[in-house]
Amino acid sequence: MAECIIETRGVTRSYGEICALKPLDLQVRDGEWLAVMGHSGSGKSTLLNLLGGLDRPDGGSLVVGGVDLATLGEDGLARFRRERVGIIFQQHHLIPHLSAVENVMMAQYFHSVPDEAEAKVALQRVGLGHRLRNRPGELSGGEQQRVCIARAIINSPRILLADEPTGNLDHASTVVVLELLSELRAEERFTIVMVTHNQEVASRGERTIFLDDGILVREELSGR
């Protein structure tokens, strides 16, 4: 049994009157692919934001990659985000006037120093070796998402958080992206926590948890 890379105990998060996450206990093994499902407002994205250090819990303990996020100050949290996690969003958030390789180098810049050769290789790994100098507007949705994947993995995160990564993609592109994530995970051995509405997408994971109204209501192990 691999050690836990994510461990939450009684984590809660409210926004004013609305309790987005009720006390949640969750363990994720190192290298596991966890899918998070639930309908809108169930607390999926809140959970992802907490795991990625984008938000702070109101209560409970949240240990990610051996780091207790509650103990980190703003600088520590920023460093945690830079060095420990990669995030893929449904909206790509690519910088429109930069080329694909420059978008990836941007992530390197905020992490440490840019290295073009490494950024190019990352794009080659996601199958975009021929689209290095294209801007996001010149790429298809699937290709844009692959740039996002290259951007998310460029800094070798131990955890990849994906928020509806295929939400905007057609079926063919969805398959390509999921295959890619699979391959990369096998190579890099990072942990994936992926929020999705799509049962088929969720089934790529090893385990799926279901949230409802901020409560973990069910979990399923996938056959894969």
Partner 1 sequence: MIAILKVITPLLCWGGMMLSLARGIGSGPTLLAGGCGALFLTGSLLPLLVPSPLLVVAFKGVTAAAFAILWLASIGGIHGAGGEARVGHAAGPLAGRGGAFLASLLAGAGVGCILVPAGGVAQPMALMAAAVAGVSLAVAGAFAGRFLPRWFAPSGTGLWALILALLLCIASSSPRLDLFSPLTMRVMKFIHDFVHQFFESMLLPDHPFIRPRVWEYIGILFSSGVGFWGGVVLFFAPVGFIATAIRLTPLPSVAHIRRGAERRLLMASYIRQRRHQQAAPILAAAVLSLAIYQSRFPSVDYWDPAPVKVTADAAGKILIPEKGEPEIGDGRMHKFVYSHGGTEARFFVLAKEDGEYAVTLDACSICKPEGYGQGESALICYYCKTLIPLDTVGKPGGCNPVPLPFRREKGGVAIDAPLLLRSWDETVQATAGGGGERR
Partner 2 sequence: MKRAVSLLISPRLPAAVLAVFFLIYCVAAFGAEEPLLVLMKLTRENLPLLLVLALLPLNAALRLLSGLRSMGSRLRVMRGGGRGEIPGGIFAEEVTIGAGADLGLVKERLAGEGFAVRGDASSLAAWRGVPFIPLHRLGALLIFSGILLSLAWRQSIKLPAIEGEPLAWPAGGGALVEKIGLQESDGAILSRTLAIHLRDAGGGRTVCGIYPPARYAGAYVYPRYLGIAPFLRFKAPGMEREMESYFLISIYPPGKEDFAVIPGTPYRIGLSIAPPLPEEDPFISGRMELAVRILKGDELLQAGTVPLGGRLAGKGSELSFLGLRRYVATDLVMDHGFLPVWGGVACYLLAVFICLPLRIFLPRVEMILVLRDGMTHTAFRSEEFGTKRGGLYHELLDSIEKGRSDH
Q: Does 1 bind partner 2 (CB under 8 A)?
A: no
Single out the segment in contact with partner 1 by CB under 8 A; choices: 28-36, 154-162, 179-187, 204-212: 154-162
Q: How far apart are CA 137 and CA 149, in angstroms?
A: 17
| CB of 35 closer than 8 Å to CB of 205 | yes
Among 12, 155, 166, 174, binds partner 1 (CB under 8 A): 155
Query: Nearer to partner 1 by C-beta: 183 or 200?
Result: 183
Instruction: Provide Rg for the chain, Cα atoms.
Output: 17
DSSP 68: E
**Contact residue for partner 2 among 41, 114, 141, 167 (CB under 8 A):** 114
How far is Cα 186 from Cα 180, in angstroms, rounded to an integer? Answer: 10
Minimum distance, C-beta of residue 121 to partner 1, in the bound complex (Å): 8
State residue 46 phi and psi, 5-degree precision: -60, -45
Site for partner 1 in 58-117 (CB under 8 A): 83, 108, 111-113, 115
- Subset of 125-154 contacting partner 2 (CB under 8 A): 125, 129
* Position 154 contacts partner 1 (CB under 8 A): yes
Binding mask 114-153 for partner 1 (x = CB under 8 A): -x--x-----------------------------------
How far lies 148's CA from each of 8, 45, 51, 187, in Å?
Answer: 27, 18, 19, 18
Encoding tokens for residue 212?
Answer: 């409802």
Which span (114-122, 139-147, 170-178, 189-197) binds partner 2, by CB under 8 A? 114-122
| Residues 64, 55: Cα–Cα separation, whole Å | 13
Q: Write out the residues near partner 1 by the rule CB under 8 A.
A: 83, 108, 111-113, 115, 118, 154-156
**Contact set with partner 2 (CB under 8 A):** 113-118, 120-121, 124-125, 129
